[in-house]
Every structure is written in C-alpha cells, then in structure tokens.
Homo-oligomer: A and B are copies of this chain.
C-alpha cells in the first residue's frame, strides 16, 4: 500500500513551524508496512489543497491530511474537500453537542442546554464535514476529523495540533489500517563511528544489490549523522495474504537480522550500536562495566567531551572530572605541565598531550589527601581554528593522549595525532568523539604493565 501525507497551513510554507506531523505520521505508517511516497505542505489556499488531494487521489491508496479544521477563516479543509467532490457540507450533531458543552463550561454558564443560535457560527463550523464522510470523533479537542474517498485513495483528515492529531491517528486510523495491512518489511540500524559513509559502503559492497553475497529483498541505506554514520538494513519479503501476515513479518525480521549481522562483522571495530544508541553512552557503559573511573584534560574541545559524557544519567559512576585548560597557564598551574615542555614542543604536541593526561591522572592519585583515584586520564590538545594554524600544524591538527594506571600504580601513556579538515565546530565535535574512541580502546585493552 502506498500513502501520501498532506499538511496544510501558511505557517508551514512560511517556515514559522517545522512539519513534525509528517515525520510522526511517516514513522507510524512505515511501521505498519505502508510505503509513504510523498509529503506535501501547502498554504491555506483552497485551489492548492484541492489540486494536491486530486493528484494524490490518482497516485496512492491512502492519504493522511493534517490541519485546516479549526474555527478561523483560514481553515479551509472541509469546505475544499466538499467542493472537490461536489457534495454539500453537513453539520455533525455529535460534534455540535461536544462544542456546545465545551462552550458552556468555558463561559461558566449554569444552564444545562444552550440554544444552537447562541453558539457562534465560527465554533459550529468545526462540526462541518463533507456529506458522505465518516466522522472521526475528536475527544481530545474540538474540531471533528473525517475520512472520505477521493479518487482511488481513502483520505483521513486530522487536526494540525500534534496532540489531537496523534490521538485521532491512534484511535481511528491505526486500528482501521492495521487490520488491512500485513507487514512485509523489517529494518535494522547500525551506528558507526570512525568510518565515513563511503568507507562504510565500500565494506558492505558484497552485501549490496549487485554484490556477490546480496540476498533478494535486501537494500541498504546510509546516513551521515556527523561525526557518526548510520547504516540501515532493510528487508522486504513478498506481500502476504492476511492469513500469512505474521509469518511474512517474522521472515522479514529474520532476514534483516541475519544480514545486519554480516554487515556488523564487516564494520568491526567501528560499529557500536543500534538506532537508539549514542557513542558517548556506549563508551560510558564500557567504563562502567569495567569499573573504571575517568579524568579528562581538555584544551581545544573546551569541555565538550565532558559534556557528552555527563549527558548520560548516572555518569558519576565512571566520570570524575574534566579540567578544561584552555590557557597554557592553566595547563601549568592545574596539570603541572612544565613551562619548558610547553616552550620546547608547543601546546599542541605529543609531549604536552602526554603530560596533560598524566597530570590529570595524577591529580586524582598522587596529591596529598587525594581521594579521587582515576584509572584513565585522557587529554586533547589541538587547533580548532579558525586561527592558530601553521604549515606544520594546520587547523584541525589534534594530539590525543590516554594514560592508563596499572596494577603496580605505574601507568602507560599512548599518544596519537589526527587531523580533521573542517571548521571549528566540526573539528571540536570530531575531536571529542576521537577522544572517546581512544578511551574505549584503553578501557578494552586491559591493564598493561609498562610505564611511559
């Protein structure tokens, strides 16, 4: 079944409101196995609304339309549909009752009944539906929704207020549609950090359409979620008769999972989770599960790495502190990085990164009376730009250091230089994620015995 979604409202085409309704409806319809082939949004303009509905009536079997059911003069949907189908508007008695009751309460009127003539026409208008329409009772608001056929499409008209729209969808549409549709597709998402879209696609080439291991019904989608990449594995099986619907859904799920497993194997060690997962939470979970405590020293990321980790509820289990030493003087005073080291190598260097990581690890271990006791110290020092770059160290150059305490209270420090050719914002985000990646590597590698 193919569907289209129409949203009406000049506030949308003027950009005063983002069309979140279309995304919500699409996700729900996709979940029911329906193929949404278009979203359209048009202003409060009868001709444009009518043209779009007529077009959808030729192209799809199901239309969901939101907005334009309210009381004001720019709410034109019911009247437009009636004109398009050459039927009169009729006033729904049940909705009029609801409106009257609401009006009575609003005005604080004591009388049990109101004469219809006392109800402003503007309010009554919200009970108008085209003749022949099925009324979708709106117990979450005022205006009635309705369903009617236009061309080959069954069209559902819902209020634009998200709360009312979602309520009517769940109460009226989902049961009606769900009964008629057998799901024949399933999707699995894989989130990846450390490979770009094209690198991911290269690794999955043999599973793709045309590849040696491609399985019928499987397609892949890729999306950049800077600095991450998301892979979507979509499995479709032939449409099933209603009786075999459950079997078809299960078959699609099994196929999607099997191929996702093959894809995951090709994306190790960059793949880390599914659709709802986040990379910082993944790294945090790794630290938590190993009972490791982290201390950070951030320069160019300016607190962003700490922010990403403390976004996670309960992050105090593994995150102890971050020292954002933006100024060189702060690196000296707070982390004990020596002035001569800074002068000899510059703040963006392997040596200073290492001294920062060790310094922040030591703050929690070696100071008199210290109670911190971090297990991993990590440092980030780089040039985020726009200024500060040189031929030798261009903007986007970042040195990372991770220092891990071992069982004999010595430590091992590793440093790594990376470069990201982007603007200040993207360099900072990327650098924070890289630091998390190196922290995860140190956490996974077990306690090592060397010292730096």
- Please state if B330 and A221 are interface contacts (CB–CB under 8 Å): no
Min distance, Cβ A273 to any Cβ of chain B, angstroms = 16
Q: Which residues of B contact A37 (CB under 8 A)?
A: 13, 42-43, 45, 48
- Asked if A357 lies at the interface with its beta carbon under 8 angstroms from chain B, I say no
Q: A15-B28, A321-B324 are in contact. Are A332 and B371 (CB under 8 A)?
A: yes
The docked-state distance in angstroms from the alpha carbon of A406 to that of B140 is 44
Of B316, B326, B363, B386, which one neighbours A333 at CB under 8 angstroms? B363
The docked-state distance in angstroms from the alpha carbon of A334 to that of B336 is 13
Interface residue range, chain A: 35 or more
- Asked if A27 lies at the interface with its beta carbon under 8 angstroms from chain B, I say yes
- Asked if A438 lies at the interface with its beta carbon under 8 angstroms from chain B, I say no
Of B16, B316, B428, which one neighbours A326 at CB under 8 angstroms? B316
- Please state if B40 and A333 are interface contacts (CB–CB under 8 Å): no
Of B23, B26, B223, B306, which one neighbours A303 at CB under 8 angstroms? B306
Interface majority SS (helix, strand, loop, mixed), chain A: mixed
- Asked if A327 lies at the interface with its beta carbon under 8 angstroms from chain B, I say yes
In the complex, identify which listed stretch (A174-182, A197-205, A241-249, A440-448) lies at the interface while the others stay far away: A197-205
Min distance, Cβ A133 to any Cβ of chain B, angstroms = 23
Min distance, Cβ A110 to any Cβ of chain B, angstroms = 13
- Asked if A72 lies at the interface with its beta carbon under 8 angstroms from chain B, I say yes
- Asked if A12 lies at the interface with its beta carbon under 8 angstroms from chain B, I say yes
Min distance, Cβ A48 to any Cβ of chain B, angstroms = 6
The docked-state distance in angstroms from the alpha carbon of A366 to that of B314 is 34
- Asked if A170 lies at the interface with its beta carbon under 8 angstroms from chain B, I say no
Min distance, Cβ A158 to any Cβ of chain B, angstroms = 15
- Please state if B303 and A298 are interface contacts (CB–CB under 8 Å): yes
Min distance, Cβ A304 to any Cβ of chain B, angstroms = 4
The docked-state distance in angstroms from the alpha carbon of A40 to that of B55 is 13
Within 186-241 of A, Cβ neighbours of B (below 8 Å) are at 197-198, 201-202, 208-209, 221-224, 226
The docked-state distance in angstroms from the alpha carbon of A22 to that of B423 is 24
The docked-state distance in angstroms from the alpha carbon of A153 to that of B311 is 46
- Please state if A370 and B333 are interface contacts (CB–CB under 8 Å): yes
- Please state if B19 and A18 are interface contacts (CB–CB under 8 Å): yes
Question: Interface residues, chain A, CB within 8 Å of chain B?
Answer: 10-20, 22-30, 36-45, 48, 52, 70-74, 102, 105-106, 108, 120, 122-123, 140, 161, 163, 197-198, 201-202, 208-209, 221-224, 226, 296, 298, 300-307, 309-311, 313-316, 319-327, 329-330, 332-334, 363-364, 367, 369-372, 385-387, 419, 421, 423-426, 428
- Given A304-B310, A321-B330, 13 new contacts (CB under 8 A): A12-B23, A14-B26, A15-B24, A15-B27, A17-B23, A38-B52, A70-B197, A73-B209, A122-B201, A163-B426, A302-B306, A303-B322, A329-B364
